[in-house]
Structure 1
Amino acid sequence: MKAKYLVSGASGHLGRSVLHHLLHTSGVAAGDVIAASRKPEQLAELAAQGVQVRRVDFDDAASMQSAFADAEKVLIISTDSLDRPGHRLVQHRAAIAAAEKAGVQHLLYTSMPEPANSPLLFAPDHEGTEAAIEASTVPAWTILRNNWYFENVMMSAGPALASGHWYSAAGDGKVAHIARDDIGQAIAAALVAAGGEKKVYTLTGASSYAHRDMAALISAAAGKEITVVDVPVEGLVQGMVGAGLPEPVARVYASIDTMIGHGGLSRITNDFKTLTGREPQRFEAWIESQAPALKSMIA
């Protein structure tokens, strides 16, 4: 059956958000949507709504050819393969090649802000994928450079609330982060927008925050003070290794602080409003909504 839109990574948090907004915010008919995942068995509720559910694995060319065969627009949600350097770029290039072969008319991709010359260790995956899309024969494409999600802050909030200390190598660098569900709505809007263009959108929140700003807001919501402790990047790496993370993974996470310190996530744009017609959710309001979860993290 011919379908207008295919969403890869459909069983993940972002994929589910995109699908929700396609169906319920943008009003797309379920039969016009393909939800594609390595774990199609997890998408039974979408199938029950009339969404086409297909298996797709970016390490399996045959699965991509089958999944993409009759889709007009394909969203590639960047994979979570961070433990094998360069593997994610191989996967994305394979997906782009499959989209070309299948005759996809419009390709969309979830990237990151300012991937070129970034100190973030997985930025080359995004830079290389963007380059492959721009060089492809797909008639139209949209690159969505997503800033960090509000939800990512919870990874730091837990240890910080437990110990009372947030160890940071970001200095006074700021993050213009945005709610994951807002990203999902913006991507859905980009999917249903008129085709034919070749555009880059950078999706950010309305304000930017340093780690000290975030810590103060979390402290107020949780009722426990967090002190930000400045450390060198190597100290951050060794602290994560001591907590049980493999060193290569710790270095990837520590490079996020380096990027923040260099200003790589601080730029604020109006692209979210351009796509959705509304302002993004404010970080302060989101933190307040997370107060029960934050309080549960206190040791």
Structure 2
Amino acid sequence: MSDSLIAVTGATGHLGGLVIEKLLESRSAASLVALVRDQKKAEHLAVKGVQVRVASYEDPAALESALTGVETLLLVSGSEVGQRVPQHVNVIDAARTAGVGRVVYTSAPKATTSELVVAAEHKATEEYLTASGLDYTILRNGWYTENYLPQVATARQTGAVVAAVGDGRVASASRADYADGAAAVLVGAGHSGTVYELSGDHAWDYDELAATIGQIIGKPVTYQRVDGPTLVEMLTGTGMPEEVARFMAALDANIADGLLAGATGELSALIGRPTTSLKEGLLAALA
């Protein structure tokens, strides 16, 4: 089994790249396949001996060719909202045709039942994967601490974190935490047919976020509460397209409703250590 091929889609992206680096700690480079759109961006992996194969989510034939001989596939969900389902279907179909043994998919918290604004595409993907006949593991990744880097930049200028989340909490973890979790599932036994709800160990609120950012930037930062329509107005006032602003406000409403607050402990159990704290995660991302 140690020589069976493990493939990672989006291998030059933030999460996929970290998964490859983690896998290199325990696996030979030759047993790893990096699926990428742009071969040039993967030169650093090729130099290490990782197999680099080019295929986009829109090219079924290239995907099938790239997945030939692969035993385990990490399907990192696409980043293009509205395009994810057809993209993921292409990968799952290609995996089935190519004879992949197991597909591990990065989903969203409680994707099949949640009202989370990003959940619908993950729900559709999960349902397609579980009906495909392929062996699968689903990683329902919670929020990334790195999502809050824009708030750090804004707070440097304004001394405030502005949000429409009320008293909502977020159990975030760092991308490296989630990458370590994915790597553990890719190389470990006993994960077949399992759905993991992954999150940070601690659900923080926005007063804590503001205080933490204040510690990092060395000046007081306050959490400024606004309602959804006010947030949309503020964001569009900065030049953000209204559709994007409404999406951001919907996410804040989801947080206010507690949809990202679940600190399940499943991620720390997978990786064998506590998840990275909010402060340490932000500091690492800024570095």
For the structure 1 residues 3 and 66, does the alpha-carbon distance in structure 2 shift closer, same or farther, using more than 3 Å as the test?
farther
Mean alpha-carbon deviation: is it higher for 220-229 or for 210-219? 220-229
Shift of 1:42: 0.8
Q: Equivalents in 2 of 1:116, 1:254: separation in Å?
A: 22
For the structure 1 residues 3 and 247, does the alpha-carbon distance in structure 2 shift closer, same or farther, using more than 3 Å as the test?
farther
- Asked whether the 8 Å contact 1:106–1:196 carries over to 2, the reply is no
Q: Equivalents in 1 of 2:39, 2:28: separation in Å?
A: 20
Return the letter of the residue paired with 1:95.
V
Shift of 1:172: 0.5
For the structure 1 residues 88 and 286, does the alpha-carbon distance in structure 2 shift closer, same or farther, using more than 3 Å as the test?
closer
2:72 aligned partner: 73
Residue deviations 1:28-67 (CA, integer Å, cap 9, x gap): 1111100011112111121111110011111111111111
Q: Equivalents in 2 of 1:155, 1:199: separation in Å?
A: 34
Q: Equivalents in 1 of 2:64, 2:271: separation in Å?
A: 32
Q: Equivalents in 2 of 1:155, 1:200: separation in Å?
A: 31
- Asked whether the 8 Å contact 2:136–2:194 carries over to 1, the reply is yes
1:128 aligned partner: 124
1:5 aligned partner: 6
- Give yes or no for the alignment of 1:98 onto 2:94: yes
- Give yes or no for the alignment of 1:165 onto 2:199: no
2:21 aligned partner: 20
Q: Equivalents in 2 of 1:178, 1:253: separation in Å?
A: 20
Shift of 1:119: 3.9
1:297 aligned partner: none
2:54 aligned partner: 55
- Asked whether the 8 Å contact 2:146–2:281 carries over to 1, the reply is no
Q: Equivalents in 1 of 2:104, 2:261: separation in Å?
A: 23
Q: Equivalents in 1 of 2:67, 2:284: separation in Å?
A: 39
- Asked whether the 8 Å contact 2:19–2:179 carries over to 1, the reply is yes
Structural RMSD (CA): 1.8
Shift of 1:193: 1.2
Shift of 1:238: 2.2
1:39 aligned partner: 38
Mean alpha-carbon deviation: is it higher for 242-251 or for 97-106? 242-251
2:267 aligned partner: 272
Shift of 1:275: 1.7
* Unaligned stretches of 5+ residues in structure 2: none
